[in-house]
Amino acid sequence: MNMDNNYDLIINSPGRINIIGEHTDYNNGFVLPTAIDKKITFKFRKNQEDNSCHVKSLDFDKSFTFDLQKIAESDTQWENYILGVIFEIQQLTNKLAGFDCEFSSDIPIGSGISSSAALECGLAYGLNELFDLQLTKLQIVELSQRAEHNYVGTKCGIMDQFASVMSKEGHVILLDCQSLVATYVPINIAPYKLLLLNTNVSHNLASGEYNTRRQQCEEGVAVIQKKYADVTSLRDVSMDMLREFKLDLLDVVYDRCMYVVQEKERTLNAVKALKTSDLKALGDLMYQTHDGLQNLYEVSCKELDFLVDFSKEYDQVVGARVMGGGFGGCTINLIHQDAVADFTKEVSEAYFNAFEIKLSSFEAMPSGGTNIE
């Protein structure tokens, strides 16, 4: 296959950050993400074949070919992100024909910035353009989420795909994951910055533990529903209601539910803080979220806890927490711009001394969603 020239279409598909509202999307709560300036760039062209498609990852120098009439799960996990999207698009349209696609990325994999959603959504967005499929952006978001459920096996919420496609430059999205109503909130945090510290660890628990968390939340809802028939998710549960079930729920289920119920409130309070530029309050909420993710939801790890604890010693970091699914990846830090260089240097040294792992860091720039170049 010769893929080096004559592409018809170039698509940029970004990763995302999330200010607050973690592990709430699949509980119908609120999230506050935005796309950032790290992205996957795809090139597409029709190849004049009826069913044969070629996809290549330039970074890994890996490619594969598949037949549109024989889409099935692969033993190679990254191929499932692609095949899952193709499967879902064909279910909706059955209008694809042979194409070639190559892509390269500057989103660090396994770092909680959702390179997976960027991959799914960029592919879906590009094929929608290339074959004029007339899918809406929301259909692209939802089919990409289904691809992750059905082919990759992670029962993710909708935050990552929504942020990757729907973001607007200079804003975060307050997304109500129940109604899918998105409110765009300007992010004016100067002279503060959003600094990401990447632990460069990705504990392999992620997908299995993620699905377990989701199940535990559903278990909690099932018990609460026996008394409150109208409750369909933790969105409908207040702290007072939850306390009534303290003795009926396993301790671990109670803790998971408590975290989610509290995080729902924190996210709405964070929006108020952002709107009034009360960054101290916003930072406090981020620290509280980390505490909940560490102790109640138990999706942190020692490397992430180390970074958050270290930041607490630094006055000019007003908030920090694990971001994304957890078990590794990045912390997100709200930090005064004057302190970025010194803090990064000190935390990197301390981290290396503690774990013999190099930390990487970058400033996240909120940006727009998937676009055609």
Check whether the bond before 191 is cis (ω within 30° of 0).
yes
Considering the complex, what minimum distance in angstroms separates the CB of residue 338 from ligand GLA?
30
Q: Which of 88, 102, 160, 263 binds ligand GLA (CB under 6 A)?
A: 160
Is 8 labeled as catalytic in the residue annotation? no
Considering the complex, what minimum distance in angstroms separates the CB of residue 249 from ligand GLA?
21
Spot the catalytic one: 59, 160, 176, 342. 160
Q: Which of 68, 143, 159, 221 binds ligand GLA (CB under 6 A)?
A: 159
- The whole-angstrom separation of Cα 10 and Cα 215 is 39
Q: Which of 105, 114, 128, 167 binds ligand GLA (CB under 6 A)?
A: 114
Nearest to 324 by CA among 165, 137, 173, 156: 156
Segment lying near ligand GLA (by CB under 6 A), choices 157-165, 237-245, 305-313, 346-354: 157-165
Considering the complex, what minimum distance in angstroms separates the CB of residue 352 from ligand GLA?
27
Please name the residue that has the structure tokens 């499932």: 80
Considering the complex, what minimum distance in angstroms separates the CB of residue 137 from ligand GLA?
17
Could you tell me which residues come within 8 angstroms of residue 214 by beta carbon, excluding any fewer than 6 positions away? Answer: 26, 155
Q: Does 25 bind ligand GLA (CB under 6 A)?
A: yes
Q: Does 255 bind ligand GLA (CB under 6 A)?
A: no
Could you tell me which residues come within 8 angstroms of residue 329 by beta carbon, excluding any fewer than 6 positions away? Answer: 110, 111, 112, 113, 198, 199, 202, 304, 322, 323
CA distances, 309 to each of 17, 196, 204, 262, 333 (Å): 21, 15, 23, 21, 12
Segment lying near ligand GLA (by CB under 6 A), choices 44-52, 76-84, 154-162, 235-243: 154-162
Segment lying near ligand GLA (by CB under 6 A), choices 22-30, 55-63, 288-296, 343-351: 22-30
Q: What are phi and psi of 174, to 5 degrees?
A: -85, 105
Considering the complex, what minimum distance in angstroms separates the CB of residue 337 from ligand GLA?
27
Q: Which of 19, 26, 125, 267 binds ligand GLA (CB under 6 A)?
A: 26
Structure tokens at 242: 């939850």
Q: Does 156 bind ligand GLA (CB under 6 A)?
A: yes
Segment lying near ligand GLA (by CB under 6 A), choices 19-27, 36-44, 189-197, 354-362: 19-27
For 162-209, the DSSP string reads HHHHH--TTEEEEEETTT--EEEEE---TTEEEEEEEEEEE-TTHHHH
Q: Does 23 bind ligand GLA (CB under 6 A)?
A: yes
Alpha helices per DSSP H over the chain:
77-92, 115-130, 137-147, 159-166, 206-227, 239-243, 251-275, 279-295, 302-312, 340-355
Q: Does 351 bind ligand GLA (CB under 6 A)?
A: no
> For binding to ligand GLA (CB under 6 A), which residues are involved?
22-23, 25-26, 114, 156-157, 159-160, 324-325
Would you please indicate which residues are annotated as catalytic (active-site) residues? Answer: 160
